[in-house]
Amino acid sequence: MSNLVLSQKEFTLFKHYIYDHLGINLGAQKIYLVQARLAKRVKQLGLVSFKEYYDRLSNDTSGEEFAYLSSLISTNVTSFFREAKQWDFLKTYSAALAEHPAKKLRIWSAACSSGEEPYTLAMFLDTHLAKSGAWDIKILATDVSPRVLKAAQTGTYTQKACAGIDPVLLQRYFTYESQTQSFRIDERLKSMITFREYNLVTGNYALFKEGMFDIIFCRNVMIYFDKPTQEQLVKKFHTLLTKEGYLFIGSSEALTDMKQGFKSKGASIYQKV
Ligand SMILES: C[S@@+](CC[C@H](N)C(=O)[O-])C[C@H]1O[C@@H](n2cnc3c(N)ncnc32)[C@H](O)[C@@H]1O
């Protein structure tokens, strides 16, 4: 089993499947990565070839095998307070919000991975929004991978994962659990977030209302999608954002050629116009 080899033909089958179902565009050089990641699953299921696994996957109507595959294929790297410049921008934004009469904020952390991004948002707003307790803040945090969502929902992180959190915030918002040597996020912050499984590429956007989000974070996932998929997604985000709402993307991503309806605010932040 250790010398299970993914043929070019099998790779093409998975490549198309992954593109159609996840939007992830795998280049030819990814054949070894796909082979390495899927081999474990093929072995675990007691199958003898990648083709056999492909048949199992494509005939599985429960969606369970797709969920498993998405966990294997996606890169889930994330961290607390990722993209420092964006948090600097949000400091200014939070100060300006003091005059906001509605005292209501709706935020979507699309592709939230193991939760560091939405928990950072919750900590950040609780700290920087004047009289944050008087605000109605709801953060929707979604990802295609049930595995990372499960981790996110525990709200528990290793010491290493918490290294990027200011010690004052760590002390304020986390409880250290010596038994597991991990930090558990405050329940009040956790209650600001709703975690849901959602596929940005094949998901049903009719579930959302036009103009419902003040802020959308979609960071470090569009980079895996091809241009047409990115364009469609950005259009959908535009529709879902409120007037003058903000879209945050990853610093290695850009809305070049698809900025229509947005103006750049720097630091990979775009405002709906
Ligand atoms: C690199 S992480 C980014 C996490 C976080 N946004 C950040 O910037 O730190 C990318 C995430 O995108 C998710 N993902 C990949 N394809 C997706 C899709 N089609 N729909 C929703 N999420 C997807 C992966 O499961 C993964 O958790």
DSSP-derived pairing of the beta strands 174-177 and 182-185: antiparallel
Among 73, 98, 122, the domain-final residue is 73
Q: Which residue would you say has higher pLDDT here, 227 or 3?
A: 227
Average pLDDT of 2-26? Answer: 93
Average pLDDT of 152-181? Answer: 97
Helix (H) or strand (E) segment spanning residue 214: strand 213-218
Same-domain status, 96 and 62:
no
Contact 78, 114 (CB under 8 A): yes
Task: Answer whether residue 157 shows pLDDT above 60.
Answer: yes
Same-domain status, 18 and 97:
no
Rounded CA-CA distance 56/192 in Å is 39
Same-domain status, 197 and 101:
yes
Same-domain status, 135 and 92:
yes
> How does pLDDT run across 175-217, given as a tens digit for each residue?
999 999 999 999 999 999 999 999 999 999 999 999 999 999 9
CATH for 268? 3.40.50.150
Q: How far is CA 42 from the centre of its chain?
A: 27
- For residue 185, being part of any structural domain is answered with no
Contact 239, 210 (CB under 8 A): yes
Q: Name the residue with the closest Cα to ligand 1, atom 19.
A: 22
Residues 6 or more apart in contact with residue 116 via CB below 8 angstroms:
78, 79, 80, 82, 157, 161
The dihedral formed by the CA atoms of 204, 150, 38 and 20, expressed in degrees to the nearest 10: 10
Q: How many CA atoms lie within 13 A of 95 on its CB side?
A: 5
CATH for 19? 1.10.155.10
Confidence of residue 2 (pLDDT cuts 50, 70, 90): low
Task: Answer whether residue 129 shows pLDDT above 60.
Answer: yes
Size of the chain in residues: 273
Same-domain status, 106 and 35:
no
pLDDT of residue 32: 95
pLDDT of residue 124: 97
Cα dist. 210→101, 240, 245 in Å? Answer: 21, 5, 12
Rounded CA-CA distance 195/36 in Å is 30
Q: Name the residue with the closest Cα to ligand 1, atom 7.
A: 78
Average pLDDT of 127-144? Answer: 94
Same-domain status, 131 and 265:
yes
pLDDT of residue 3: 78
**262: domain range?**
84-148+190-272
> How does pLDDT run across 68-86, given as a tens digit for each residue?
999 899 889 999 999 999 9
ipTM value for the complex? 0.99
Structural domains of the chain, count: 2
CA angle 17, 21, 25 (to 5 degrees): 70
Same-domain status, 137 and 264:
yes
- For residue 163, being part of any structural domain is answered with no
Q: How far is the CA of 136 from the centre of ligand 1 (A)?
A: 26
pLDDT of residue 71: 87
Q: Count of CB atoms within 10 A of residue 128's CB?
A: 16
Same-domain status, 241 and 123:
yes
- For residue 107, being part of any structural domain is answered with yes
Task: Answer whether residue 149 shows pLDDT above 90.
Answer: yes
Q: Which has the closest alpha carbon to 97: 245, 237, 208? A: 245
- For residue 19, being part of any structural domain is answered with yes
Among 73, 106, 121, the domain-final residue is 73
Pocket test for ligand 1, best of 68, 142, 143, 205 (most atoms within 8 A of CB): 143
- For residue 121, being part of any structural domain is answered with yes
User: Which residues approach ligand 1 with their CB closer than 6 A?
Assistant: 22-24, 74-78, 82, 111-113, 117, 143-145, 148, 199-201, 219-221, 250
- For residue 101, being part of any structural domain is answered with yes
Pocket test for ligand 1, best of 74, 107, 147 (most atoms within 8 A of CB): 74
Average pLDDT, the chain: 95
pLDDT of residue 131: 87
Same-domain status, 112 and 228:
yes
Active-site annotation holds for 82: no
β partners of residue 157: 183
State in Å, rounded, how far the first CA of the chain is from the last one. 56
- For residue 157, being part of any structural domain is answered with no
> How does pLDDT run across 32-48, given as a tens digit for each residue?
999 999 999 999 999 99
- For residue 94, being part of any structural domain is answered with yes
Same-domain status, 120 and 251:
yes
Confidence of residue 1 (pLDDT cuts 50, 70, 90): very low
Q: How far is the CA of 113 from the centre of ligand 1 (A)?
A: 6
Among 41, 73, 105, the domain-final residue is 73
Same-domain status, 17 and 144:
no
Same-domain status, 67 and 194:
no
